[in-house]
Amino acid sequence: MSNLDLSRISVLVVEDSQFIRSLIVNSLRVLGVGTIKSVGDGGEAIEFLKLVVENPMKAGMMSVDLIISDWEMSPVNGMMLLRWVRRHKESPDRFVPFVMITGYSEPARVQEAREMGVNEFMSKPFSINALADKIFSVIMKPRQFVHTASYFGPDRRRQNVPFEGEDRRKLTYESEEVEVING
């Protein structure tokens, strides 16, 4: 991580707990992130993302390079925000890397976030090293995006290695076409 220059990166932090929000922001500063904006819930994040497009000078950044969001927030939670970013027609960048942070890390939640198109998933409590690893992963090892009738997001397979044997994965729909998109 030390070889990665984050000074040109802009990050949007979405967290309702002021304590955790300041912990994330300060961790990002220690890692050398150039521009950081923090908001208290997904609704504020959506409004900020729209502002970045409409008036970057007022927003204080030209684009958002990474979103780090808590899951549990009110009134608009992290999953609603992720759904808006990946699927809404007004989303300024459907390909923006998205790291979901939560205190609830049951396998069903991880699966739900993956199915919605999250790039990385991180459990609370977390260390600055864990945060750095997630940032490194989305920046230095980006995955291709996949678009099907039921999914839009990063390819859920982490490695691009030849597969030997029978592919056991099944498509949901017999006629579903899969399109791979490079973000």
This prediction's pTM = 0.84
Task: At 124, list the tokens.
Answer: 């609370």
- Quote the CA–CA distance of 118 and 96 in Å, as a whole number: 10
Q: Over the stretch 104-144, which tens digit does the pLDDT of each residue have?
A: 888 999 999 999 999 999 999 999 999 999 999 999 988 88
Q: Which residues of the chain have pLDDT under 70?
A: 1-2, 158-183
